[in-house]
Structure 1
Amino acid sequence: MATRISRRTVLAAGAGAAAGLSLPGVDAYAADRRTTRVGYTLNAQVLDGGEQVTSITLRTARLGPVDPAGLTTGTFGVHARATSPIPLGDDVVSGTYDVDRTVTAVRLDHRGDIVLDLSHGEGRTGGGTLGYLAGRGRNVLLDLDYTLTQHAPIPLRGHRSVVIGEFVREPGLSDREVDAFSSHVSGSGMKYRLYSPARAHSSRRSGHPLIVWLHGGGEGASLPDHYYDNETTLRANRGALGFATPEAQRVFGGAYVVAPQSTSYWMEDGPRFAPLIHEIVREVTRAHRVDRDRIYVAGCSNGGYMSLKMTTVYPTLFAASVPICGVVTSFPAGGAPLIPDPELARITTPTWLVTSRDDTTVDPRANTVHAHELIPGSLMTLYDDVTWNGYRFPGHWSWIYVARNDPRVDGTRIWQWMAAQRRH
């Protein structure tokens, strides 16, 4: 078993460490032995169940050519602690942790930096980037504190080795898909993220489609705390990210994807939020080459409601609408319906509704099935449950299917159906 070499051990040795600190496990080439400071980045990926930290990149390329043959999963230890960024008071936050992360592989990237791959996957705790505040009904980006410990020296080519004296985390998270969305604030102060199509699609003469993604209730701002991050809309699920994948971009011929973030939650006041979303659509279409006949709206849960509401308020704006596990009845029960039957019956925008029969959060029959029965010409996909890659998710999470282009009717998948729709 390798002897543990902690930062404290190195620092306690003082200035003599570089000159000749005798550390167990370090090779015999004392003249080349040195300690140094290295930065590191947390790399994340949004899985179907939310974002997780999947690897760590150590900025070691500048130290010299690392010999990968001398690196093992035991070279470094990783401890992770995640806490709420908001004082909890009487509230409860799920998703926090204080655990050792398992290093599953150690490799060099194309720059020569060391990458520690970490154990992760659906349903696993200890790697998530978001926590859920139960009393507020909100997801928040957790404060992440990672501690790296070196257990053995880093072998360099030429029989040299390096002991890292200090690990310094670089700010933020590195998530390739999330980082592809730029950050904006509308004229009215509503935050939104925007994906722009790659240059390979830039030759379209008629402009590009625009897909408006409306998030669920957990991704809005937290009113009591003025927490408004413009992050959780992309990190909580793959709703918006799915439309920015190479596969979706090929289907749509290169599309802009915009994800507004509510200052609270859409169902709080849909008629008030509708013009604020419309303002963002106008800003994007004016600033970019958008085909105004190919603007689509899709959303989940709260956003499923809001995507329907947008088509009642702006009946000629969208070429198609995809409401997922949305709400049309009163919520909570006992009040007036959020979208009355006469409004549903007047929707003229081509609509494809998606939900799962085992949804225990939003009654699929009283909401999605009911809306389908009233919206003229609408399509509907009704799943038995939400299972993807062998993992069963809560029944409310049927947006996973849309993000994976799974719903289909008569052999036509939902992305292809959307892409074929034009505003009349």
Structure 2
Amino acid sequence: MDFAFDARTEELRAKLLAFMDEYVHPAEAVAQEQRAALASPWDTPAVVEELKAEARRQGLWNLFLPDAEYGAGLTNLQYAPLAEITGRSPQLAPTVTNCAAPDTGNMEVLAQFGDERQKKQWLEPLLAGEIRSAFAMTEPEVASSDATNITTRIERDGEDYVITGRKWYISGAMDPHCKIFIVMGKTDPDGPDIRRQQSMVLVPRDTPGVTVTRAMKVFGYEDHYHGGHAEVVFDHARVPVSNLIGEEGGGFAIAQARLGPGRIHHCMRLIGMAERAIELMCRRAVARQAFGKALAQQGVVHNWIADARVTVEQLRLLVLKTAWLMDTVGNRGAHTEIQAIKIATPRAVVDILDRAIQLHGAGGVSQDFPVAELYAAARTLMIADGPDEVHQRSLARRELRKYL
């Protein structure tokens, strides 16, 4: 593996770093102030739209999508260092470059599995940043870490599907620009193959019977920039059969195809979050004094910073290896590494952010520094896209198989 970035990656890295320094980081406080003055906390601050326009002007748009017909046409290895940079400002940078979940995964699903009508109606406005979307899989009544557990029904009735069920932590659903849900439910609940019972359908937000009942908080945060996380009820919501994505019974396979890139994108951004934490730790350590000397002179602070740097360098190499494998042997060939980074990265970054909070004292748990919100986001990723224990179980089985 060649560890050097190619010319295109270097060019985009330079442009993106300059964009972050000149536009994104200065806009973080501005966006907070503007949001506080909005009629609804889910409305978009004006500065976000300004940043989106600038990102598009500079060609820093849809960087995540490897299909050159729709996105930047970057490989996973090319995109990895760019996603890391956006992770330094996860509230703003992914959104303003149109590289934010859940839209990224939904665009990948539509690009890979959608028909031409579905692409025209939903993928094109998503690619243009004109609308947002949500992915409705997780349910409150079952352990959704096992996707075969879901109970939402998608029943055929003539030329329509009727959807009935309750979902929660549906990211993006609180955003007023969210116009479409990709809903996973069971079309064949009694089928002999539990992985062929599920299907995915497109459900417009304004469909009768679709109700966004409340916003779900994450450690007290509402995650406005990603459109929040909602509880959504589908009460006999009716959509045309033509809204089926792919084929009946293909929902589980589509979900797995969607989650593979999503997991590595999260890990890429997590490394950027860790880099931001190290920067904040160092700035705090040299600026604050305790017991007659700077925090930067305290031995325990040295340990925290050194350990954080070592951890980030290790994680970055593993993520880059995984991205390289996904490009060269495909997602299935990189399955072990995808699971490895999904286990290792959130756990390690949570630990780094915990030290950053400690170093900031009371400020670390306040709204005046970003570390508490970063911690909440990183800790969530030990659950989202499959909890650690599910990935550990699968990874261990694969290792044991060699000896059985």
TM-score, scaled relative to structure 1 = 0.23
* More helix as a share of residues: 2
* More strand as a share of residues: 1
The structure with more radius of gyration: 1
